[in-house]
Structure 1
Amino acid sequence: MAVNVMTSKEVTKKVFNKEELFILDVRNESDFNDWKIEGENFEYLNVPYFELLDGVEEIIEKIPTDKQVLVVCAKEGSSVMVAEMLSEAGLTVSYLKDGMKAWSEHLEPVKVGDLNDGGEIYQFVRIGKGCLSYMVVSNGEAALIDATRMTEIYLDFAASIGAKITHIFDTHLHADHISGGRLIAEKTGATYWLPPKDATEVTFEYQPLEDGNDVKIGNTLINIHALYSPGHTIGSTSFVVDEKFLLSGDILFIDSIGRPDLAGMAEDWVGDLRETLYKRYRELSEELIVLPAHFMIIDELNDDGSVAEKLGTLFAENHGLNIDDENAFRKLVTENLPPQPNAYQEIRQTNMGKINPDIDQQREMEIGPNRCAVR
């Protein structure tokens, strides 16, 4: 039987549509336990490739014949070989094109809303990493927020909708993924904005993004209003777009809150984090739709694949927003934190322009799940 190929885009659709899929992951057990393809109705079998070198007879009975089966490895090669052995044994299976490397880099654009004067806002879901970036479009102009290093997807998408990228923002100096902001600015001539308190060590030109900055996109009244919101980093800045959407960066997520320790400043910044979440955000309209820079678990995806929720709902349901005792809050965000992101110090240095790793090094630095949340 033929061995089929499944792309990351096709797997993403299965995640969004909550379809069934059986995944045979042939990476090492530690890699699988650290990071895998997640779907609400996915089942898994992890058997390291080296255990299958002599054949697949011992796992045949564990693989269903009534579901689609996807074989996954790090870069593709091992999964092709295992898929071919399973096919020769009479099973119909697929392998993931370019493996987890491609899964880590796939971005899926999702429209999350219309703006008041005819524009729209799109969310780019980096399904394998949990990163979320945004494009605000109005009258042929576009602004990018928290772009990843996969720059072509944004350039191609803007071209497909007839928009020119004129402004690029990073809500903060990222520590879990490499920003594409500077490179896209170089390619498009767009203005690149960074919070100056996060940019004291950067080696390149940028426009300082400060509290109260208003940036208009297109020639309509749509504007992006910067709101200083420290806590994840000292410069963290949120955006209120069109008085309708709150782009919260890594300060507030759907199911958690941002961690303050990625610059080694947890004790110093915990007070800023609490003030942002419990004071600055409380002064905003509860009708704002929160659009974070990351999601933590697959359950945070809405039915259309987007990650978004009303601020009022988060005030009611997000545990991190409902800790009255300041000492309990401090303990939550400074103790028992998850592991820090892979190579986060090198990622920070890359985003400052201090080091310039090649593409293979960048991929290796970003491998694994995002870990920007407290829990």
Structure 2
Amino acid sequence: MILEKIKTPGLSHLSYLVGSDGQAAVIDPRRDCEIYVEMARANGLSITHIFETHRNEDLVSGAPILAELSGAKVLHGPDAAGEVRYAETTRDGDRFPIGQLEIRVFETPGHTFDHIALALYDSAYGEGAVGVFTGDALFVGDVGRTDFYPNRKREVAGLLFDSLQKILDLGDQAIIYPAHGAGSVCGSGMADREFSTVGHERWNNPLLQIADRDAFIERKVDEHHYQPPYFRLMERLNLEGGDPAPRIMRPRPLTLAGLSECGADHLVDIREPMAYASGHLPGAMNLPVDMIPAFAGWFIGEGERIALVASSHDQLEQAMQHLVRIALDNVVGGYVGVVPAAASGQEMRAIPMIGTAEVRERLEGQSEGWTLLDVRDADERAVTAIEGSRHIYVGELSEEWKKLDPSGAYTLMCASGMRATVAAGWLDAQGFDNLDIYLGSMGAWKAAQQE
């Protein structure tokens, strides 16, 4: 009897393989899904069931692909938005034996209308649930977002409250297995650990401390979440069924000449922010490889051609994996060699870094034509902001840049300088010439205030 957690880096997506007596079920598989087949075979198991706790918004489901590989059927909750073409519908009360184990279905709408939780029972040890796969209804330290139905926001928040009571009723002993961990865009208050129980969440999860249904609804309605444009693509593919992941997860290598001739819609420099700011190819934006899952879907559209610039071939492979998992995988090639290119006389662009003293001097002098542009999210800015700064969330710059004056001067800031470099890189790629980055950003500003 096994239960294995498979974590997808960057997206903080958690999927699971559970098996007993030669049978196995997979819960919420990702697009590059060979790992589940390999893991099952290594444990002498055949995958007989594939469950989706809901239609994912932040990654492409691997369920239809895994069904082709394994011959297992896909099971999905009642879908109010449209039928999931590759799945059979499972409903409240359905039971599925997996050897000695049994999975019982609970309809838990709220995050999405089709959401289900899957309680896990061991037939040899009483009636209490051993664990529960909570999808995006309940996380460690948080609960699911409810902003995907803006015209029905109070209704879905109330549905989530009711669904959480169903999960709590499974008993304090049940271990929770959520579909995401800390760092996911599906929740902002998740704990760093990925293990908990229903009982621990009952007593410690801030959202579960709200016992009044109306108060819970008010709290959820007041939350602010961002929805990257690629969410719509994920929703569509997870109704229709996405294509299998590319067999080779590494872009074809490009020479410098090949890079200029490849016809890419986006030249994406995936090196670290300091490396990019120090020197990058003209027209390149910056999406550090670890930030691709969070921000690529804001700046890159479906089917657009991507050329990558990296420090190493391993970095190119990591970037390709991230892009494949969100179906932005039209990667025409990858280039390694920015420093040799500079040494050969290739034109380079750079974005200066400035410190707190320079920012304060500009603010006090009210520098004409200069803007301190804060690209943090709205919740961060609501806690503390620098007086005189302007706010545009980094992802929303994908469209909001058109409202800025390209002849103006801009200093980009965030919490540390990482997202500020992504924002500056986007503006640089759009032809903005007078840019710099506040190194340390809000962290440095706060430190200076305490001196």
Aligned to 1:66: none
Aligned to 1:314: 201
Per the TM alignment, residue 311 of structure 1 is displaced from its structure 2 partner at its CA by: 0.6
Specify which of 192, 214, 218 is matched with residue 74 of structure 2: 192
Aligned to 2:98: 217
Aligned to 2:87: 206
Specify which of 342, 353, 357 is matched with residue 240 of structure 2: 353
Residues in 2 aligned to 1:365 and 1:177: alpha-carbon distance in whole angstroms: 5
Q: Which runs of 5+ in 2 are unaligned?
A: 122-128, 185-189, 247-301, 304-322, 329-376, 378-451
Q: Is the 8 A contact 1:133 1:148 kept in 2?
A: yes
Decide whether aligned partners of structure 1 residues 140 and 259 sit closer, same or farther in structure 2, where only a CA change above 3 A counts.
Answer: same
Per the TM alignment, residue 296 of structure 1 is displaced from its structure 2 partner at its CA by: 2.2
> Is 1:300 aligned with 2:181?
no
Decide whether aligned partners of structure 1 residues 199 and 217 sit closer, same or farther in structure 2, where only a CA change above 3 A counts.
Answer: farther
- Give 1:195's aligned amino acid: G
Aligned to 2:105: 226
Aligned to 1:284: 170
- Give 1:276's aligned amino acid: S
Q: Render the CA deviation track for 1:17-69: whole Å, top value 9, x for unaligned.
A: xxxxxxxxxxxxxxxxxxxxxxxxxxxxxxxxxxxxxxxxxxxxxxxxxxxxx
Decide whether aligned partners of structure 1 residues 154 and 355 sit closer, same or farther in structure 2, where only a CA change above 3 A counts.
Answer: closer
Per the TM alignment, residue 336 of structure 1 is displaced from its structure 2 partner at its CA by: 3.2
Residues in 1 aligned to 2:325 and 2:34: alpha-carbon distance in whole angstroms: 20
- Give 2:108's aligned amino acid: S
Per the TM alignment, residue 354 of structure 1 is displaced from its structure 2 partner at its CA by: 7.0
Q: Is the 8 A contact 1:175 1:262 kept in 2?
A: no
Residues in 1 aligned to 2:229 and 2:326: alpha-carbon distance in whole angstroms: 6
Residues in 2 aligned to 1:164 and 1:312: alpha-carbon distance in whole angstroms: 33
> Is 1:170 aligned with 2:52?
yes
Per the TM alignment, residue 196 of structure 1 is displaced from its structure 2 partner at its CA by: 2.3
> Is 1:335 aligned with 2:216?
no
Per the TM alignment, residue 209 of structure 1 is displaced from its structure 2 partner at its CA by: 1.0
- Give 2:119's aligned amino acid: V
Per the TM alignment, residue 125 of structure 1 is displaced from its structure 2 partner at its CA by: 1.4
Residues in 2 aligned to 1:154 and 1:342: alpha-carbon distance in whole angstroms: 29
| Aligned positions of 1:120-159 closer than 5 A | 120-159=2-41
Residues in 2 aligned to 1:213 and 1:270: alpha-carbon distance in whole angstroms: 25
Q: Is the 8 A contact 2:59 2:325 kept in 1?
A: no
Give the structure-1-normalised TM-score.
Answer: 0.59
Residues in 2 aligned to 1:358 and 1:144: alpha-carbon distance in whole angstroms: 18
Specify which of 312, 321, 324 is matched with residue 363 of structure 1: 324
Residues in 1 aligned to 2:32 and 2:48: alpha-carbon distance in whole angstroms: 18
Per the TM alignment, residue 201 of structure 1 is displaced from its structure 2 partner at its CA by: 3.3
Q: The residue matched to 2:79 in structure 1 has which SS?
A: helix
- Give 2:42's aligned amino acid: S
Per the TM alignment, residue 267 of structure 1 is displaced from its structure 2 partner at its CA by: 2.7
Q: Which moved more, 1:133-142 or 1:337-346?
A: 337-346
Q: Is the 8 A contact 2:147 2:225 kept in 1?
A: no
Q: Which runs of 5+ in 1 are unaligned?
A: 1-118
Decide whether aligned partners of structure 1 residues 285 and 164 sit closer, same or farther in structure 2, where only a CA change above 3 A counts.
Answer: same
Decide whether aligned partners of structure 1 residues 191 and 332 sit closer, same or farther in structure 2, where only a CA change above 3 A counts.
Answer: same
Q: Is the 8 A contact 1:172 1:198 kept in 2?
A: no
Percent identity reads 29
Structure exhibiting the larger radius of gyration computed from Cα positions = 2
Decide whether aligned partners of structure 1 residues 136 and 198 sit closer, same or farther in structure 2, where only a CA change above 3 A counts.
Answer: farther
Residues in 2 aligned to 1:176 and 1:350: alpha-carbon distance in whole angstroms: 11
Q: Which moved more, 1:188-197 or 1:357-366?
A: 357-366
Residues in 1 aligned to 2:67 and 2:325: alpha-carbon distance in whole angstroms: 24
Decide whether aligned partners of structure 1 residues 280 and 263 sit closer, same or farther in structure 2, where only a CA change above 3 A counts.
Answer: same
Per the TM alignment, residue 140 of structure 1 is displaced from its structure 2 partner at its CA by: 1.6
Decide whether aligned partners of structure 1 residues 355 and 163 sit closer, same or farther in structure 2, where only a CA change above 3 A counts.
Answer: closer
Per the TM alignment, residue 308 of structure 1 is displaced from its structure 2 partner at its CA by: 1.8
How many pairs align? 242
Decide whether aligned partners of structure 1 residues 301 and 123 sit closer, same or farther in structure 2, where only a CA change above 3 A counts.
Answer: farther
- Give 1:293's aligned amino acid: A
Specify which of 230, 237, 241 is matched with residue 116 of structure 2: 237
| Aligned positions of 1:113-124 closer than 5 A | 119-124=1-6
Q: Is the 8 A contact 2:11 2:183 kept in 1?
A: no
